[in-house]
Chain A
Amino acid sequence: MASKFVYVTYIRTTPEKLWQALTRPEFTKQYWFGVSLDSTWKKGAPWQMVFEDGSVSDDGEIVESKPPTRLVLKWHHRLFPEMQAEGWSRCTFDITNENGIARLSVVHEIDRNNSKMIEGVSGGWPRILSSLKSFLESGEALELERWRKIPKAKASTKVA
């Protein structure tokens, strides 16, 4: 009994560059709608998805962190009420190298059927990952229109 989103993409880059692009604000801000993923990326550490206006849309905990091949996040959405109500989901990034091409697999899942959370991220991930691929391959992220109006968030409390 579960809902699962799976996405595999192949990118002309190295696992190391891909890991950096996924985790460092100077990169995520360019292709991920101005987002910073705020974390030390150590196992057990917290993480937050922070937008340019300071609002936090999602947060959680680092379950596994093995640069540059595997990152597993406990993930909680905080803005859309029906998604927030579903609680914790799990997002796994697996990165491998195939003859100079980086293979990125993203699996985002939750322990309930017909999840609104997974439905929501199923729309977002292809946009973010397409923009990431363009950014790494051609130096330019995609100009994606903001596809959904995000409800106004509470101000971010900086995680210690």
Chain B
Amino acid sequence: MSSRFVYVTYIRTTPEKVWEALTKPEFTQRYFFGVTMDTDWKVGSPWRMLHSDGKTTDAGEVLEAKPHERLVLKWRNEFPDLKPEGYTRCTFALSKEGDLTKLEVVHEAEMDNSKTITAVSGGWPRILSNLKTFLETGEVLTFPGK
């Protein structure tokens, strides 16, 4: 019984660079649509997704943080229609394959048919495609309306 979104991408860069891109505002603001992941990345610390307009759309807690390898976040969307669903779990697993990094994102909820997971299933491919383009070419994709 659960809802699960899984996405694997291979990026021509090092795990260190992928980790930096996932965690540092100067990078997330570029490919992650102006977002800052506001946290100190220590286990047990809170985190929130802070947008350039000052709004927080998602928030939670850092469950695991092994630099360049693994990041696990407790994650809840703060909008009225999704907040009642409660917390989901988002895992970023990084591994090196030759001169590539394999990034696997697993975003899951204990409930079936989670609307949060449906929502992030639309967002992650955009963000992760943009991350790959940014790390490989130095430029981001220009999405309409973003």
Contact surface of A with B, Cβ cutoff 8 Å:
7-12, 98-101, 126-127, 130-131, 133-134, 137-138, 140, 142-145
Contact = CB atoms under 8 A, between A and B. Distances in A.
B130 interface: yes
18 contacts: A10-B133, A12-B133, A98-B144, A99-B143, A101-B141, A101-B142, A126-B10, A133-B132, A134-B136, A137-B133, A137-B137, A138-B137, A140-B12, A142-B10, A142-B12, A143-B98, A144-B97, A145-B97
B12 A134 contact: yes
Interface of B: 7-12, 97-100, 125-126, 129-130, 132-133, 136-137, 141-144
Contacts of A8: 125
B125 A10 contact: yes
Given A99-B142, A134-B136, A145-B97, A127 B10 contact: yes
Nearest to B10: A130
A158 B33 CA distance: 49
A131 B10 contact: yes
A143 B129 contact: no
A100 B144 CA distance: 9
B125 A9 contact: yes
Given A99-B142, A143-B99, 5 more contacts: A10-B133, A101-B143, A133-B129, A134-B12, A144-B98
A66 to B, nearest CB: 22
Contacts of A130: 9-11, 132
Contact of B142 (A100, A127, A138, A144): A100
Nearest to B141: A101
B99 A10 contact: no
A12 B7 CA distance: 19
A8 to B, nearest CB: 4
A144 B137 contact: no
Given A10-B129, A126-B10, A127-B10, A137 B136 contact: yes
Contacts of B98: 143-145
Nearest to A141: B12
Contacts of B125: 7-10
A98 B144 CA distance: 7
A86 B32 CA distance: 40
Contact of B141 (A7, A12, A144, A145): A12
